[in-house]
Amino acid sequence: MIERFEGAESALEDAQAMVELAQEAEDEESGVEAESLVQKLAAKVEQIEFARMLSGPNDRFGALLSVNPGAGGTESQDWAEMLLRMYMRWGERHDYKVELIERQAGEEAGIKSATISVSGEFAFGYLRAEVGVHRLVRISPFDAQSRRHTSFASVAVYPDIEDEVTVDINDDDLKIDFYRAGGAGGQHVNKTESAVRITHLPTGIVVQCQNERSQHKNKSQAMRVLRARLYEHELAKREEEMSEINAAKKKIEWGSQIRSYVLAPYRMVTDIRTELKVGNVDAVLDGDLDQFIQAYLLAEGGGAEAEGSPA
């Protein structure tokens, strides 16, 4: 952090000297170099400012991201799968390790639910900007009459606290079910009871994993998600008891949509919170989300004040 400030201070001095030199000499080449130095300085300052946005207590953790479709059957389930792909592509663009933990396929297309882990520094800090309901408007590929449909899906993000934070889980509070995984996955996956569902009885939180061949690995992954869910649950409970829930937080419900993706009659992605509009819908759906994430974090003031991060 200190090196960032010192680097920006040094860049400022260089830029000021070059600007003065260009003005005195009235030299076009010096002016171009001065402009280049100013742009580099602006980039350094932006990095410092954005690092301040990611100063929440959990921002440095990796993230566990879940996608769930709203009402609407196949339409919403297909939209949920599109969102899942979008976040996986975003993670890959940032060289994060993206791992599919749980995926329940829809009857005809799409998904009923899915959870991925995004491992890497500040993954949660970035992805907490995506918490909420996402709305899609398009000509339905499942409608024989090619009518326009509106679909909803919700995104939830939890810090992947792993073993760095202690969460006490009593074995007596757990109901563990083993079952056969559904859908494609190879003969071994479908013929053995390798899938795991864990219910935390005191809270009613249910997690499951069926992506690994090994029952042991699936149980380990499910416990990892449960630990993160319980941690977030306890934070929310504590905030409620203290009556200090941050005013910037919004309830994650079907009425609290944060972004609209319109594919017809025009093409536009609009973030309702920041009013940022982007016309290249295909790029956004392919994981180009940084402009939305940065705009949201900067608008919220970052860190503990932002939605999805503990106050």
Mean pLDDT confidence for 273-290: 96
What band does 212 get if pLDDT is binned at 50, 70 and 90? confident
Q: Quick check: 62 and 120 in contact, CB under 8 A?
A: yes
Give yes or no for residue 310 having a pLDDT over 60.
no
Instruction: Output the average pLDDT for the chain.
Output: 83
pLDDT of residue 211: 82
Mean pLDDT confidence for 211-224: 86
Question: Own/partner pairs for 288-293, CB < 8 Å, 24+ apart?
Answer: 288/90, 288/93, 289/86, 289/90, 289/130, 292/129, 292/259, 293/126, 293/127, 293/129, 293/130
pLDDT of residue 79: 96
Q: What is the pLDDT of residues 184-199, one digit of tens each?
A: 544 444 567 788 999 9
**For the whole prediction, is pTM greater than 0.85?**
no
Give yes or no for residue 283 having a pLDDT over 90.
yes
What band does 96 get if pLDDT is binned at 50, 70 and 90? very high
pLDDT of residue 99: 95
Q: Quick check: 232 and 161 in contact, CB under 8 A?
A: no
What band does 311 get if pLDDT is binned at 50, 70 and 90? very low
